[in-house]
Amino acid sequence: MTSGLSSPKFGWLSPVIGNRWSDYQPIVQYQCEHILPSITPEFDSLWIADHFYGFDKKTDPFLEAWTTLIWCAAKFPDIDLCHHVLGVGYRPPALTAKMAATLQFLSGNRFILGIGAGWREDEYLAYGYDFPRPSVRFRQLEETIKICRSMWSEAEPSFEGEFFHIDGASAPPLPTVPPPICIGTSGEKIGLPLAARHADIWNTVWRGDTASLVRKTQIVLEELDRLGRSESDIEFSLTIERPLPTNGSEANEFREFLAQLIELGMNHFVLDFGHPQSSAEADLFIAEVMTPLRK
């Protein structure tokens, strides 16, 4: 099994949380000052998580995803931008479509709409949102994607679905390049077939289980074939949470690890390195991992 892309892409996931390890300063704020100005020319994409509060203490700082990504878009003009990933139930579909069209215009066509069915029940309920069963959330996700694409391509689109409707929901200026849609999911029965139907990018998270990743990838490939879509129509994206290498041995091991994942079909890596203190810490990864793999 090989990737549909000739060269892998690399995304940097910048944490929006501030906790005791970052002296309660949101890590993305620190990275925007000390790291991202140097590394964004080397990376393909910048990713921001969509949650409302953290996972340690609810009082820890945790920045809102749209606001933060727009802030990053203005600071770093040469990198693609994506959420990791928006919870479909957090914002009305038409508003999501309008916000996406606006950011695509302002960023010069660098926005990727990363979205998923949502999973964090406590967060939904805390904010007063309904949290239906998974099959419902995935049907809502499918309707949201249809609304977005119609609002990006039609002057006055209408849509009447099971959950949502629009009636002449104009979103000018229409994107000259519609944002690619990245669907984040690992559900084998509903989520992966939905990604095969609608995604330009499919994202899942590395859990340390190669057999599971192979199985999920095969489900997407089989569904693509059934639908008459080509493997090259979709990027296979994998999120990996792992520290930056600190020496040549660690860099070699990291490169071999990613090379194996590329052989399994992955072609866009979203990397959460935690809280490195300087851009120099990323130099070894760029030189000894990214550059050889791109060749």
The residue ranges of every structural domain in the chain are 9-294
Average pLDDT over residues 72-97: 98
Average pLDDT over residues 82-99: 98
Residue 165 phi, psi (nearest 5): -150, 150
Which of 11, 217, 191, 239 has the alpha carbon at shortest distance from 88? 191
Q: What is the pTM of this model?
A: 0.96
Which pLDDT does position 2 carry in this prediction? 46
Residue 6 predicted with pLDDT over 90: no
In the chain, the percentage of residues whose pLDDT exceeds 70 is 98
Contacts 24+ apart (CB under 8 A), 53-58: 53/123, 53/126, 54/17, 54/19, 56/19, 56/20, 57/19
CATH superfamily name and code, 9-294: Luciferase-like domain (3.20.20.30)
Residue 219 predicted with pLDDT over 70: yes
Average pLDDT over residues 213-236: 97
